[in-house]
Amino acid sequence: MTLLHFVKLCKKYKFLFFILIIVMLTYSFSALMISEVLRRTTVAIETNNLNSLNGIAIFAIILTLISVILEYLTAIINQSLQNNCEEHLQILLLNKIFHLKKLKFQGIKTGEIITKTTQYIPNAITGTITTVFNGIVGIFAIIFGIIYMSLLDIKLMLCIVIFNVLFRMFTLTFDKKIKQTAKQGVSIKNRNSSFALDLLNNNIIVKVFEKYEFFQNKFFKNETEMMNNDVRSFGLQVGYSELQWMTKMIITIIILYGFGGWLVAKGQLQFSVIIALTTSSDYFTKGINTMITALNAKNSSVPLIEAITELLNEEDVEKETEKLQNTDDISISFEKVSFGFGDKIILDNVSFTINAGEWVEISGPNGQGKSTLLNLILGYYRPSSGKIKFGDQEVTNVSLYSINGNYSYIPQDPHILEGSASENLALTESFDNKKTDSIISGLNLDEVKNNKPSSFSQGEKQRLTIGRALYRIKRTPLVLGDEIFSNIDNTNKKEIVNIISDACKGKTIFFVCHDDMGLKFSKKLIVKDKKVLIQPYEVCSENVGVNA
């Protein structure tokens, strides 16, 4: 994606773009007028024209005030535009991530997503705004600088322009180096973010195996590579800045004071023109430098933009198709369904039917495809071949969002978010207090409900996750769970079984489990050797709860 297309993503803020351009161009023009003020001031001094000098002084004060106001407005509008565009693009990126198909999402490292959202977008926005606006202001300054200098003295103007062109040709190497360093920085940041996140997520492994030094060395090796790249980038930027300063000095000392002074001495040029050319040449040079800054910002931003837009342009997303019909009476059928990851087949030619209202246990050895089967029912995975039907509708034709709205899901690993226990249940700040308090009490979480959920034990987090499903269970005909009691003690397990049994009357249940859950299932799906065997559930004496 080009820089222009990236800008178009923020077209809703085009009014701010337009205002900022006008303000920046006006500010730039006011800077050029300073040269004319200095020229006229010098002439008034040379001719001892006090009236003219007074008028120029008043104009200079007004011009200064206008410049200060314009500079302030530029900073405010620039920051406002950057904040709005940053928020807009972060929402777009997160929305894209939420709509990715599960298999595609699993192929993206979490660290990369975090880096793109929290670092790349702000930096890309800053670079894009710098590129666009500095580019426009730079072109403006170059054109009007040349026009004004030619009106003062065309010979000196040509000297200044030719010297700048030759100098910029010499510095093209810096542009290439800066672009190359920026690309390397993006690659290193992606790798470092993913490694750091993996390290934090697996800190228990580090502690248990006492491999602190190994992981520390690996982490600091990655960071050292990043720091070295940053030093190279900083060195190039500083070197470029120093060369720009050197250009300004050469123009001022050799061209203006040397050649220009010689022309003044011969009576071919007024001293006031030298004064005006000193500032206007600086204005022209700054215009070129501003253009170069814009190009450098573009070179630094393009790798970031490419990384962001690679995800924004991802087409492997869930699309809005048919809505699920007749949701009150959903039977689920697998007809010769096969599924795998690449060449690895997980399920092969599987067929079964579960009627609405049946309670089903999914069991089998580890790694045989129980969770995969559950994900196929959830709609997260789509079959490689065969058909999955909800009632008479084929799942591949039904919108995932429509399926999502018809089930409550309890994952094996609890996912706790920032906020209170009640907010974690309802997943909103506007929730039914009585409802959340009742669920929290039923799950024996009263003593910790005012604590931060992040401080909960694993068992408490799992109960909170179960409560999240219970909060919406009345409006969903399907209830699915994956090893929901893996972190819960037997006392709480029995109480939760009774709650689930009561809440799920008349609903269709699919629960993955290894041990007896205590629920009175009607059927069992045994996943083994790429097949799924369906059989009546044998009621154990330990089973509690009511019949489905």
**pLDDT for residue 341:** 83
Residue range 21-63, pLDDT digits in tens? 999 999 999 999 999 999 999 999 988 888 888 999 999 999 9
Residues in the chain: 548
**CATH architecture for the domain at 82-312:** Up-down Bundle (1.20)
In the numeric block, which tokens belong to residue 32?
């050029």
Q: Cα separation of 38 and 16, whole Å?
A: 34
Handedness of CA 398, 402, 407, 408 (dihedral sign): positive
Which one of 127-131, 218-222, 383-387 scores highest in mean pLDDT? 383-387
Residue range 434-463, pLDDT digits in tens? 998 999 998 888 888 888 877 888 888 889
How many C-alpha atoms does 439 have within 13 Å on its Cβ side?
Answer: 26
Which residue stretches of 118-270 are H helix? 121-152, 154-170, 172-201, 203-209, 212-250, 261-265
Q: State the DSSP string of 301-368.
A: HHHHHHHHHHHHT---B----BPPP-TTS--EEEEEEEEEETTEEEEEEEEEEE-TT-EEEEE-STTS
Mean pLDDT of the chain, nearest integer = 82
**pLDDT for residue 542:** 41
Q: Cα separation of 2 and 280, whole Å?
A: 34
Residues 6+ apart with CB under 8 A from 78: 20, 129, 133
Residue 360's beta-bridge partner residues? 510, 523
Asked whether residue 146 carries a pLDDT value surpassing 90, the answer given is: yes
Strands laid side by side in the 332-341 sheet:
344-354, 332-341, 385-390, 393-394
* 168, 142 Cβ separation under 8 angstroms: no
Q: What average pLDDT does this structure show over 485-494?
A: 85
Question: CB neighbours (10 Å) of residue 207?
Answer: 10
Nearest to 535, CA basis, from 368, 374, 362, 335: 362
333 — pLDDT class (breaks 50, 70, 90): very high
318 — pLDDT class (breaks 50, 70, 90): low
Query: Which of residues 497 and 325 earns the better pLDDT score?
Result: 497
Asked whether residue 199 carries a pLDDT value surpassing 80, the answer given is: no
Looking up tokens 């499903």, which residue turns up?
469
Q: What average pLDDT does this structure show over 135-144?
A: 92
Residue range 147-165, pLDDT digits in tens? 999 999 999 999 888 888 8
**pLDDT for residue 344:** 87
* 466, 416 Cβ separation under 8 angstroms: no
This prediction has a pTM of: 0.59
Asked whether residue 540 carries a pLDDT value surpassing 90, the answer given is: no
The phi, psi pair for 525, rounded to 5°, reads -105, 115
Task: Domain 332-536: give its CATH code.
Answer: 3.40.50.300
**pLDDT for residue 348:** 93
SS3 320: coil
544 — pLDDT class (breaks 50, 70, 90): very low
103 — pLDDT class (breaks 50, 70, 90): low
Asked whether residue 548 carries a pLDDT value surpassing 70, the answer given is: no
Residue 478's beta-bridge partner residues? 407, 508
**pLDDT for residue 327:** 64
Query: Which of residues 65 and 253 earns the better pLDDT score?
Result: 65
Q: What average pLDDT does this structure show over 113-127?
A: 76
User: DSSP code of 255?
Assistant: I
Looking up tokens 């995800």, which residue turns up?
311
Residue range 525-537, pLDDT digits in tens? 999 999 999 988 7
Asked whether residue 541 carries a pLDDT value surpassing 70, the answer given is: no
Element (H, E) at 359: strand 359-363
Q: Where are the domains of the chain?
A: 82-312, 332-536
Nearest to 403, CA basis, from 481, 338, 476, 312: 476
SS3 16: helix
Nearest to 130, CA basis, from 171, 89, 81, 165: 81
Element (H, E) at 283: helix 271-312
Residue 68's beta-bridge partner residues? none
Residue range 270-281, pLDDT digits in tens? 899 999 998 898
336 — pLDDT class (breaks 50, 70, 90): very high
Q: How far is CA 49 from CA 34, 46, 59, 271, 440, in A?
A: 19, 8, 16, 16, 87
Residue range 206-219, pLDDT digits in tens? 555 555 676 677 77
Q: What percent of the chain has pLDDT over 70?
A: 86
**Angle at which helices 14-46 and 50-99 cross, to 10°:** 160
* 505, 548 Cβ separation under 8 angstroms: yes
**pLDDT for residue 205:** 58
**Angle at which helices 172-201 and 154-170 cross, to 10°:** 40
Please, is 287 exposed, middle or buried when counting C-beta atoms within 10 Å of its C-beta (0-12, 13-18, 19+)? buried
Looking up tokens 């900083």, which residue turns up?
234
Residue range 376-387, pLDDT digits in tens? 888 888 888 999
Q: How far is CA 525 from CA 191, 276, 512, in A?
A: 41, 88, 9
Q: Cα separation of 525 and 536, whole Å?
A: 9
Indicate the range of 138-142, 238-242, 351-355, 477-481 predicted with least confidence: 238-242
Q: What average pLDDT does this structure show over 405-421?
A: 83
Query: Which of residues 102 and 233 earns the better pLDDT score?
Result: 233
